Amino acid sequence: MPPGHALHYTAPIVERTHNPSSSWIVAQVHGASVVLWDGHAFHDAMLGGQIKAAADPRHTNALAVGDEVDVEPSGSGPPRVIARRERRTHLERAANDPRSRVQIVAANATRALIVSSLRDPPFRPGLVDRWALLARRGGMEPWLCLNKVDLGSQTDAERAVAEAAIPLTAHFLSANTGWGVEELKAAIAGDSTVMVGHSGVGKSSILRLLVPGADASTGDVSAKNRKGRHTTSSARLYPLPGGGVVIDTPGVRSVPLGRAEVGEVVSVFAEIADAPPCRFRTCTHRAEPGCSVLQGLEAGSVPRLIYARYRRLLEEAEVR
Ligand SMILES: Nc1nc2c(ncn2[C@@H]2O[C@H](COP(=O)(O)OP(=O)(O)OP(=O)(O)O)[C@@H](O)[C@H]2O)c(=O)[nH]1
Ligand SMILES: [Mg+2]
Ligand SMILES: [Zn+2]
């Protein structure tokens, strides 16, 4: 592990004494170094050559946080990860990559908690749309979490979500005051949740409330001193005290979709997904005759704001 990249966990890294048939979960990846969680403790491990050889060439990373893996002892050194079990779910995003590969942000989570903030940084419905699409693509249920409600009021927060007409389960929260945290804890108890969202919205702050003692870095959002911010630099998995796990991820500036199906884009917007069938089955709801979405736009059943976000997503995605 390179210096300066020590992986600090509150639970001690213990000697490996495990049943070889049971699978371990990837808690953090740093190049060829991996931290694994066996349900009781964290273990250091190394990536075996088999894993790299078997990696999907369309992906930038061979292992993602949340992956279930098989390990093998390797003499006196750390155990080796020799196989990855098939992912039940995954969350991907287009990598900034000349080969159009995707990065697997996290694996095997039940849901993606799309964290945004009421202010500082401002609430951006377009980012929520993109993450919702990607979560569904990988089989995760997208939820919205609107943090920093203390910077406005509960009414402001609810209005922001209602105006954006985001058809997702929404949690309102203030990591600063702890308001709404108990409800979120109860809602995610027992299963696996990955937190995603813009940098500075408060993911790591929320994590520290969910997992007391977690030492996730939290940054100061002060625009003056951006270099001094302790933002999260890699995804990490933490066990929840009452069972289940939560994965904190680094914030992103943008969420490029890469290639997408029209149906995927449509499924983000309830008003468009629920519109009656159009004349053409392959209608993209842009200019086709007999389009029920365009008729809904005229009649007011499809809000202009929603339609504009749909078009933006459609134009941005390389629609197949
Ligand atoms: N007012 C207010 N500030 C908050 C709240 N939650 C977090 N913050 C502040 O927002 C800043 C960023 O918080 P982080 O938890 O580091 O944000 P993050 O989403 O983990 O950021 P990245 O790791 O860069 O993705 C810190 O200064 C926090 O103290 C909140 O509920 N209200
Ligand atoms: Mg963070
Ligand atoms: Zn149409």
DSSP letter for each residue of 278-311: PSSTT--SSS-TT-HHHHHHHHTSS-HHHHHHHH
| pLDDT at residue 68 is higher than 50 | yes
Q: Which CATH class is domain 90-248?
A: alpha beta
CATH of domain 259-319: 1.10.40.50
Supply the pLDDT for residue 318.
73
- Mutation test residue for ligand 1: of 120, 148, 196, 205, the one with most atoms within 8 Å of CB: 205
What mean pLDDT is reported for the chain?
88
With a pLDDT cut of 70, the percent of the chain lying above it is 88
Q: Which atom of ligand 1 lies at the shortest distance from residue 232's CA?
A: 23
CA distance 40 to 115: 28
Q: Do residues 232 and 251 touch, judged by C-beta distance below 8 A?
A: yes
CA 58 – ligand 1 centroid, Å: 33
Average pLDDT of the segment spanning 97-119: 95
CA distance 91 to 104: 6
3 state SS of 139: coil
Supply the pLDDT for residue 89.
98
- Kindly report, residue by residue over 188-243, the tens digit of the pLDDT: 999 999 999 999 999 999 999 999 888 765 554 444 444 445 678 899 999 999 89
Supply the pLDDT for residue 245.
96
- Mutation test residue for ligand 1: of 215, 218, 255, the one with most atoms within 8 Å of CB: 218
CA distance 2 to 33: 9
- CATH number (2.60.40, 2.40.50, 2.40.160, 3.10.20) of 24-84 reads 2.40.50
Supply the pLDDT for residue 229.
59
Length of the chain counted residue by residue: 320
Domain boundaries, the chain: 24-84, 90-248, 259-319
Higher pLDDT, 20 or 1: 20
Q: Do residues 131 and 197 touch, judged by C-beta distance below 8 A?
A: yes
- Kindly report, residue by residue over 274-303, the tens digit of the pLDDT: 999 999 999 999 999 999 999 999 999 999
